[in-house]
Amino acid sequence: MNIIVLVKQVPNTTHIKLDPKTGNLIREGLESIMNPDDLHALEAGIRIKEETGARVTAVSMGPPQAVDVLTQAMGMGADKAILLSDRAFSGADTWATSYTLSKAIEKIKDYDLVLCGYQAIDGDTAQIGPQIADWLDIAQATYVRDIESLNKNKAEIIVKRRLEDGFERVACKMPVLLTIISELNNPRYPHMGQLISACEQKAPIQVWNAADIGVKTIEVGLEGSNTHVIKTFTPNFKRQNELLEGSTKEVVSDLISRLKKSDTSISHRL
């Protein structure tokens, strides 16, 4: 059985800092990490490998330095890794990104399972997984929080999907693309020996460009995108930012009387 895990290198947005004067994002010194949900997808793939002897291939699209997340993936137990890197891929929206990744997956061939995190912390779109499933014309299950059973002979996998009011158990025909949420598992740390081998010259990390996966440059990157950024700006929220002063008793009664006077539905109930 063959498993493809899609991983993305993202800036660690939990440590994001804003320039106090301009309000702009400070990108310098921003650490790059593997997208957190992708770690869970990778862990899921490696656990299936341990149970069934499946082969795990990690795939990432990004600039040359994104090779770091693939090294990490190999360190965790992936058998092979492929970096899709080409200047022509840059500026891609989810349409062009999912197209590029699906072309790479088609080139890898003979896959039974495609795993990825349900969304990336830098974009939060959650679109890439379902779009790839559609390019490949395979089933999808999103928000997967448990992989119950996998029956290779019946080509069926049973998963639990998180819903807003609970969860559902779904049987999916393989091949299938699953997007993984963090509840699924606890990712392991990379194994030092494997990490060192992943950094060696002969490590099975390949770099594929546009020609390697057979796409035209007008089909990918910014040119191949259907959506385009018109402008970016820093949000501005105007509130009076008033700090109430006095003793605990005073500030509390001050606030309650302000709420009573406010034009909200609860003002008359207080």
Within residues 164-223, the interface with another protein by CB under 8 A covers: 164-173, 176, 183, 217, 221-223
Q: Are 3 and 56 in contact (CB under 8 A)?
A: yes
Among 71, 98, 100, 185, binds another protein (CB under 8 A): 98
Q: Are 64 and 188 in contact (CB under 8 A)?
A: no
- In the complex with another protein, the residue whose CB is nearer, 17 or 107, is 17
Q: Measured from the CB of residue 93, what is the shortest distance to another protein in angstroms?
A: 6
- In the complex with another protein, the residue whose CB is nearer, 80 or 185, is 185
111-150 footprint of another protein as x/- string (CB under 8 A): ----------xxxxxxxxxxx-xxx--xxxxxx-------
Question: Burial letters for 210-227: b for 16+ Cβ neighbours within 10 Å, e otherwise?
Answer: beebebeeebbbeebbee
Q: Measured from the CB of residue 65, what is the shortest distance to another protein in angstroms?
A: 10
Measured between alpha carbons, how far is 247 from 239 in angstroms, rounded to an integer?
24
The length of the chain in residues reads 270
Q: Measured from the CB of residue 197, what is the shortest distance to another protein in angstroms?
A: 30
- In the complex with another protein, the residue whose CB is nearer, 153 or 240, is 240
- In the complex with another protein, the residue whose CB is nearer, 201 or 241, is 241
Among 31, 201, 243, 268, binds another protein (CB under 8 A): 243
Tell me: cis bond preceding 175? Omega within 30 of 0 counts: yes
CA distances, 2 to each of 83, 108, 110, 188 (Å): 18, 10, 7, 21
10-39 footprint of another protein as x/- string (CB under 8 A): -x-xx-x-x-----xx-x------------
Q: Are 6 and 81 in contact (CB under 8 A)?
A: no
- In the complex with another protein, the residue whose CB is nearer, 50 or 168, is 168
Measured between alpha carbons, how far is 37 from 117 in angstroms, rounded to an integer?
4
Tell me: cis bond preceding 235? Omega within 30 of 0 counts: no
- In the complex with another protein, the residue whose CB is nearer, 56 or 159, is 159
Q: Measured from the CB of residue 242, what is the shortest distance to another protein in angstroms?
A: 5
Binding region for another protein (CB under 8 A) out of 51-59, 70-78, 196-204, 227-235 = 227-235
Q: Are 177 and 111 in contact (CB under 8 A)?
A: no
**Binding-residue total with another protein (CB under 8 A):** 91
| C-alpha closest to that of 141 among 115, 165, 109, 108 | 115
